[in-house]
Amino acid sequence: METGQKFNKRAFVSAGMAISVIGLPFSGLMNHYLGFEAFSTSRHVWMSVHNILAFFFTIFSIWHIKLNWKPLANHFKDISRVFISREAIYAASLILFFLALFVFHALHVPQMR
């Protein structure tokens, strides 16, 4: 890094968000995979990884919103321009479908005691 170059907070926050969000699905899958075994060291490690990545993603996301508040506010300033696009409806439908699928799957799993 050059000494005369100013530290770019936006790039730092974006990189932090990207790194943490890349690890979240993998650590979540590992937690799901290990969820059926007794509480072990490997399960504790993956839970810790998932929790710290989620913490950092949350912090970086809030920081990202703070750094980009003016552009975000300008984007929603003119309410007459805001509409729900076909793409947004398709994306929401896809997410809601899989959310319902996974929630109903969890409701059919026998209770562990």
Per-residue pLDDT tens over the stretch 32-54: 888 777 778 888 888 899 999 99
Domain that holds residue 76: 9-107
Q: What is the pTM of this model?
A: 0.66
What value does the mean pLDDT of the chain take?
85
Domain membership of residue 2 (yes or no) is no
Domain membership of residue 54 (yes or no) is yes
Total number of domains in the chain: 1
Per-residue pLDDT tens over the stretch 88-105: 899 999 999 989 888 887
- How many residues in total does the chain contain? 113
How far apart CA 65 and CA 80 sit, in angstroms, is 23
For position 71, what pLDDT does the model report? 83
Per-residue pLDDT tens over the stretch 1-29: 566 789 999 999 999 999 999 999 999 99
Highest mean pLDDT: which range of 49-63, 82-96, 99-113:
49-63
The 10 Å Cβ neighbour count of residue 54 is: 16
